[in-house]
């Protein structure tokens, strides 16, 4: 208990002192995960829309596939990508292993099924009349898609946040394809794993606090928008 409180107080000191290395790791972590979610979300949401609004053979199979892929372990994604990107792998010539790009790809693979599954659940619950009304009022089908997405914006935002939560905290994939290289591919989860293995609990806890604080901030923002501007605390 004593160790925990000492480490926590040291963590706050580290954070407040503006430790450059610590803040670099934090920035890198959010930069990688933001890019991963940014690249994944549009396509995932469009696929979810297709699964919700169009009837085609194999539709249920794809839904089951995405639902299953939600629970794929991060380390399995990391291992698969490692084998693909390693020098002897089929994509070895791309020289992406141990780069931020590889971390982004890994995180995209991880959050994609979650984004599709949650967006699909959200879009399924949007009233079908929204689509029909948009079309009958003369909207081009693309515009009608955006109208439906707008109607589902709170649920879709929650899906994106859940996807972000999944990747910002994952360690398995980032460690395997990023390599935890200081100043280049070290992010919050891999740094926590490293610091903990070294016994530097203060830095690990500080990074954990940042993760939680950011998660809280994002959720408060979501609540703010869901409450249409009123933060119901």
Partner 1 sequence: MTVITKVQSESIKLHKMNYIRNKQIILNNILFEMNSDDFILMTGQNGSGKSTLLRIIAGLMKPDCFQLTYNNTINKSSWSSSKKILRQKFCYLHQTPYLFSGTVYDNIAYGLKHKGLKKVEVDNRVEEALSLVDLQHLFDRKSHALSGGEKQRIAIARSWVIQPKFILLDEPFANMDKHSRSSTYDIINQLKADHIGVVLTSHDPHSGELNFNRHLHLHQGKMVEKDTPLNLSSIHF
What number of chain residues touch partner 1 (CB under 8 A)?
Answer: 16
133 binds partner 1 (CB under 8 A): yes
Instruction: Assess contact for 29 and 187: CB atoms under 8 A.
Output: yes
Which span (91-99, 136-144, 161-169, 207-215) binds partner 1, by CB under 8 A?
A: 136-144
Which span (64-72, 88-96, 135-143, 162-170) binds partner 1, by CB under 8 A?
A: 135-143
Distance CA 202, CA 196 (A): 9
Task: Kindly state the tokens that stand for 105.
Answer: 């790809």
Angle 20-210-5 from CA coordinates, rounded to 5°: 95
143 binds partner 1 (CB under 8 A): yes
- The continuous run of DSSP H or E covering 33 comes out as helix 20-53
Residue from the set 6, 13, 68, 136 that interacts with partner 1 by CB under 8 A: 136
CB of 162 to partner 1, least distance (A): 22
CB of 120 to partner 1, least distance (A): 20
Which span (7-15, 92-100, 105-113, 126-134) binds partner 1, by CB under 8 A?
A: 126-134
Residue from the set 138, 142, 229, 230 that interacts with partner 1 by CB under 8 A: 138
Task: Kindly state the tokens that stand for 151.
Answer: 């109607």
Residue from the set 43, 137, 212, 216 that interacts with partner 1 by CB under 8 A: 137
135 binds partner 1 (CB under 8 A): yes
Angle 180-212-121 from CA coordinates, rounded to 5°: 95
Distance CA 186, CA 215 (A): 19
CB of 45 to partner 1, least distance (A): 18
Instruction: Assess contact for 175 and 181: CB atoms under 8 A.
Output: no
158 binds partner 1 (CB under 8 A): no
Q: Mind spelling out the 3-state secondary structure of 138-199?
A: CCCHHHHHHHHHHHCHHHHHHHHHHHHHHHHCCCHHHHHHHCCCCCCCCCHHHHHHHHHHHC
Task: Kindly state the tokens that stand for 185.
Answer: 């591919």
Residue from the set 69, 76, 79, 130 that interacts with partner 1 by CB under 8 A: 130
222 binds partner 1 (CB under 8 A): no
Residue ranges binding partner 1 (CB under 8 A): 127, 129-130, 132-140, 143, 147, 150-151
């Amino acid at each position: 208990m004593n160790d925990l409180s000492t480490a926590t107080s040291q963590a706050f000191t580290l954070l407040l002192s503006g430790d450059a290395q610590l803040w670099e790791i934090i920035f890198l972590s959010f930069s990688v995960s933001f890019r991963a979610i940014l690249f994944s979300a549009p396509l995932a949401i469009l696929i979810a829309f297709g699964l919700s609004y169009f009837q085609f053979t194999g539709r249920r199979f794809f839904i089951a596939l995405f639902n299953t892929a939600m629970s794929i372990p991060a380390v399995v994604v990391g291992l698969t990508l490692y084998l693909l990107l390693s020098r002897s792998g089929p994509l070895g010539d791309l020289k992406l292993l141990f780069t931020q790009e590889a971390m982004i790809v890994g995180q995209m693979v991880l959050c994609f099924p979650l984004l599709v599954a949650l967006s699909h659940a959200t879009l399924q619950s949007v009233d079908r009349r929204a689509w029909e009304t948009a079309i009958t009022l003369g909207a081009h089908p693309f515009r009608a898609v955006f109208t439906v997405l707008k109607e589902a914006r709170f649920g879709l935002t929650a899906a994106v946040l859940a996807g972000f939560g999944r990747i910002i905290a994952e360690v398995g994939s980032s460690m395997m394809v990023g390599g935890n290289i200081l100043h280049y591919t070290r992010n919050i989860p891999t740094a926590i794993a490293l610091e903990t293995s070294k016994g530097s609990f203060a830095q690990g806890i500080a990074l954990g606090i940042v993760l939680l604080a950011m998660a809280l901030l994002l959720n408060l923002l979501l609540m703010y928008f869901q409450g249409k501007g009123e933060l119901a605390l």
